[in-house]
Each structure stands twice: as C-alpha cells, then as structure tokens.
Amino acid sequence: MDINNLRAFIEVADKRSFSRSAETLHLTQPAVSKRIAALESELSARLFDRVGRSVHLTEAGHVLLPSARQISAELDRIEEVICNLGKSVTGKLSIGTSPHIGVTYLAPVLKQFRVQFPDVDMDIQFNNSVQTLEDVENGIYEMGLCALHAPVGPKLREIDIWQDDMSIVVARDHPLAEEENVDLELLLKCPAVLPPPSFASRVLIDQALAVRNAKANVNLEVADFDTLSMMVKIGLGWGILPNALCASDSLYVVKLSGIELRRRISLIRHQDRTLSRAAQAFIKSLPNTII
C-alpha cells in the first residue's frame, strides 16, 4: 500500500475537499484524485462519496481512517528518529490548544523554545479543549494543552502545568455592577452567558453552584471566550472568564463570597505514541514537568 496514497486519503478526509487537500499536499487536484482512486482500487472499496461540492467518508472510509493515521504517524516517527540520530533537536512540533491558553500561557514558552531550538518547525493549531483532546487521542496532534475538569481517557496521559483562575463578570452598566457584594440568590435571578456544558469552565461553574443546590439561568451558550466577553459587555447576561481576560473598562468583576473558580491546564499526550525529540525538548521547557 502506497503511503502517499494513504496520506492523500487522510488529507481529503480531514479537509473534506480535494482542492484544499491538493493545496496542502502541493499537488494538482487530478493528482490527488488519482491517488484516492488507486487506493480505492487496491482496497476494492469506495472511500468517499462526492455529493455536489461536498465530500463525505463512506463506511469503508470511516473504518480505514484510524489505521491510516496510525500508519502515517508511525512512518513520520521512524523518519524523524533516523533523521535526528546524532543531530541536534529538529523536526516538527505538533501541538493543539485553545486560543486563550496559547496567548496567555503557551506564547512565552514558545518564544524561549524558538530561541533554544531554532531548527524545529512549529505546527500549532487552535481549537477548544474538548476538540483538542479528541484530536490528540486520534493522533492528529502529538500533544495538546487543554483546560480540564475530569481525568482523561485511558489512552491519554496528562501532566498538570498551570492553574487558570476565573471570575464572574458583568457589563459595567449591569445592575449587579452596582452591588459591592453580590449574594447567590441575586446572581441567579439574572440570565447567564456561559460555555457549552462539556467545556471545563462550564463544568466549573455548574459544580460550584450545584454544591449550593443552585443552577445558572443560562440565556446563551458561547464556545469561545472572545465572543462570550462581547456578549457580556453588551448586557446579555453575566458570564465567567479567565482572570487574564477580565481587565477591561467594559467589564465588572462580581464579588461572590464562597465560590472559587479555578481550572487546571494540562499537557496531554497519547500513551502509545513515542515522543519526538522536539516534543521531549518542549515538555522539558514547561514548568514542573517530567516526561
């Protein structure tokens, strides 16, 4: 089985587009189609359905994808190990993380890492922590930096790196901004703008309220902090934000006694994946980590 055909299959599966995959692979679209056709012929199975402009995996394609990723990752690892023998740290560093973690915590680490290891190619992808966990488990990223609220699955290893303090915020012209100390009953009478239930920050506030047999009156669910902050600023409700994002003239931090909001930010890696030299060097550059 030709590895180039497998890698073309993975790209098309990820991007759901032959044209965008061709750009990534630096090939023409007919060349990508030819590789997929060769793989389908070899397997005697159709891997994609082309409906209009959309590309969808068939049942056979869904079965093949995890194994194709594993084969591709293993070949990349072999090439990198052989390339790095007796040499300095090079190769690709593949990390998934969220925009907030990337800007607030990861950026200073990457800046120093770049100075120390200038020959490493950095592949940093931004998504929410829920998606990043899934992508690390599926082998898309070598590691991830995620906000967590519960232990990860059995296939993953986690190392706690940072603690991310959060606060309840409202708009400056919100009625709660006039209160020096807000009690819980008053807060819960107001609508809330919060992340979806699967997000660590949402679990954090839900658990803090559940201890008091309380539940937020959720008016709107927003999946990223920038949008959530804007929704709070225009008065759609109270919300929770990392403290690093609370410094705004348009936001007021609500003082609510007895509730502490703190997420843990952890490094996530697949237990069956051998770390590249670049990844090992990166982990050593993080605070309080042991490979």
Per-residue pLDDT reduced to its tens digit, 219-278? 999 999 999 999 999 999 999 999 999 988 999 999 888 888 999 899 999 998 888 889
What domain count does the chain have? 3
- Any domain includes 290: no
- Any domain includes 7: yes
Same domain, 103 and 244: no
Q: Which domain holds residue 31?
A: 3-82
Same domain, 106 and 221: no
54 pLDDT higher than 90? no
3-state secondary structure the chain: CCHHHHHHHHHHHHHCCHHHHHHHHCCCHHHHHHHHHHHHHHHCCCCEEEECCEEEECHHHHHHHHHHHHHHHHHHHHHHHHHHCCCCCCEEEEEEECHHHHHHHHHHHHHHHHHHCCCEEEEEEECCHHHHHHHHHCCCCCEEEEEECCCCCCCEEEEEEEEEEEEEEEECCCHHHHCCCCCHHHHHCCCEEECCCCCHHHHHHHHHHHCCCCCCCEEEECCCHHHHHHHHHCCCCEEEEEHHHCCCCCEEECCCCCCCEEEEEEEEEECCCCCCHHHHHHHHHCCCCCC
Same domain, 158 and 168: no
Same domain, 68 and 131: no
- Any domain includes 276: yes
- Any domain includes 291: no
CATH number for the domain spanning 19: value is: 1.10.10.10
Per-residue pLDDT reduced to its tens digit, 103-122? 999 999 999 999 999 989 99
- Any domain includes 191: yes
Same domain, 271 and 158: yes
Same domain, 9 and 26: yes
Check residue 229 and give its pLDDT: 96
79 pLDDT higher than 90? no
Same domain, 158 and 27: no
pLDDT band at 84 (very low <50, low <70, confident <90, very high): low
